[in-house]
Structure 1
Amino acid sequence: MTKSALLKLNVVPCTFIERLNRFVALVDVNGETRKALVTNTGRLEEFMVPGRRAFCTPKRGGKTDFVLVAFEDLGGRGAIIDTRTQARAFERAVELGLVPWLRDCRIERKEVTVGKSRLDYLFGCPGGKIYAEMKSAVLRGGERGEYAMYPDCPSVRGRRHIRELIELSKAGERAMIFFIGAMPGVERFRPYSQGDPEIARLLAEAQKAGVEIHALSLALLPDGRIVLERPSLYIELEEDF
């Protein structure tokens, strides 16, 4: 298991109170009720439980005072829900050459327009360019909690991205979708068909069409370090179970 530190955040312990809407939650920080930005649009029901210990980072400007970065999880480590932090940590891992399925690659562009979608990354690699989309997998599953799963609710945007990747692959381009299993202790990834059965089906179709599918796992340590726990998770798609 790899435990490479990627980032160091200025985290502030907080306690989750409630989610006001898609983007704002109430948290308790040192006995005061404050508003925190939520960047993850998933339901996150297993984490957003009143009274659950969490980790925030201070924020300047806007209508919120903090960013809700993670929830305390296994062994005191944090499950990272903040998609911006996930992306920053992933990008650092690529820069350091710690991601085996992107070794010797570099990020050429972000937010790349393809068809009617914008994909997260265009990588430049020795074997050519790769169009890639990143998804946040912060739903735990399996008897031992060993699975990181996506999505936890229907995602029209997610379906559209996978379809665009399928078309790219059929057109002869390298296309990739990868999942950030941002929870401590996960070992495998699989789609959560109860959240969106169409995405589970599309991922299996994408693999058959040549789209590369990968996942890695991250966790937050109590001191604010983001670590790469596993640079590659085993992938199980619908046809496998």
Structure 2
Amino acid sequence: MKKPVLLELNTVPCTFIERLNRFVALVDVNGETRKALVTNTGRLEEFMIPGRKAFCLPKTSGKTDFVLVAFEDLEGKGAVIDTRTQAKAFERAVELGLVPWLKDCRIKRKEVKVGSSRLDYLFDCPGGETYAEMKSAVLRGGKRGEYAMYPDCPSTRGQKHIRELIELKKAGKGAMIFFIGAMPGVEKFRPYERGDPEIARLLREAEKAGVEIHALSISLLPGKGVILERPELEIEV
């Protein structure tokens, strides 16, 4: 079955050289060394290997020339590491009604202040409002590489968000955390215990408290854009 294109992106091929810091990488574009913005704060060690083919999006302002959007992965497709691209693709999928676990929901607000945190979304659904946080799952696991996992390193921010969602649910409000498995070929989601055992524990606590946990998968199809791979992944917490 043909997979829907969620975002059209005019990316250019590039080659990863090195990560200078949390937000900047060096890439080779047409034989020239250029700076690229990295929006994903994970370690991304399985992708950020010198010489690995990647896909960059030109920028028109700022201290970097490109955004590092994706790395070449399976079947010539790209694993989308750029969290802004992940969010835009997800929002388009919701708008098109392609996310079964958000059927008949709409995004009411983004960047919603809750306690001392900001959560990514507030959804207006037939059953009422639901507070939601999105996380990027771009670590592959499993014998067949069938799992998208999060996080690949400790995340106190992620821990804080899950605790906020648990408290919201206990207060009788709708609460959800969902993961963008931004790689081709993944079928399931599970937390990466070695990356942050507290995140894994909190997700189990959240599930018991009634917080909804979901995941979907996307990938970059070079020359086309970001496609929806699977609208729902199996969850294992």
TM-score normalised by L of structure 1: 0.97
Q: Deviation string for 1:46-97 (max 9, x for gaps)?
A: 0000000000000011110000000000011000000000000000000000
Determine the C-alpha separation between the residues in 2 that align with 1:57 and 1:92: 19
Aligned-partner residue type, residue 157 of structure 1: R
For structure 2, the residue ranges without an aligned partner over 5 or more in a row are none
Determine the C-alpha separation between the residues in 1 that align with 2:110 and 2:222: 30
Q: Please name the residue that 2:169 is paired with.
A: 169
Q: Please name the residue that 1:140 is paired with.
A: 140
Whether the 8 Å CA contact 2:5–2:224 is kept in 1: the answer is no
Whether the 8 Å CA contact 1:216–1:232 is kept in 2: the answer is yes
Q: Please name the residue that 2:189 is paired with.
A: 189
Superposition RMSD on alpha carbons, in Å? 0.7
Q: CA deviation at 1:2?
A: 6.6
- Partner SS state of residue 16, structure 2: strand
Aligned-partner residue type, residue 100 of structure 1: P
Q: Please name the residue that 2:13 is paired with.
A: 13
Q: Please name the residue that 2:50 is paired with.
A: 50
Matched, 1:63 2:36: no
Determine the C-alpha separation between the residues in 2 that align with 1:90 and 1:224: 17
Determine the C-alpha separation between the residues in 2 that align with 1:81 and 1:231: 18
Determine the C-alpha separation between the residues in 1 that align with 2:204 and 2:2: 28
Q: Deviation string for 1:28-48 (max 9, x for gaps)?
A: 000000000000000000000
Whether the 8 Å CA contact 1:178–1:215 is kept in 2: the answer is yes
Q: Deviation string for 1:147-171 (max 9, x for gaps)?
A: 0000000000000000000000000
Aligned-partner residue type, residue 23 of structure 1: F
- Partner SS state of residue 110, structure 1: strand
Q: Please name the residue that 1:234 is paired with.
A: 234
Determine the C-alpha separation between the residues in 2 that align with 1:76 and 1:18: 22
Whether the 8 Å CA contact 1:2–1:231 is kept in 2: the answer is no
For structure 1, the residue ranges without an aligned partner over 5 or more in a row are none
Determine the C-alpha separation between the residues in 1 that align with 2:162 and 2:192: 15
Determine the C-alpha separation between the residues in 1 that align with 2:231 and 2:103: 11
Determine the C-alpha separation between the residues in 1 that align with 2:55 and 2:78: 8
TM-score normalised by L of structure 2: 0.99
Pairs aligned (count): 237
Q: Please name the residue that 2:88 is paired with.
A: 88
Matched, 1:26 2:26: yes
Aligned-partner residue type, residue 37 of structure 2: L
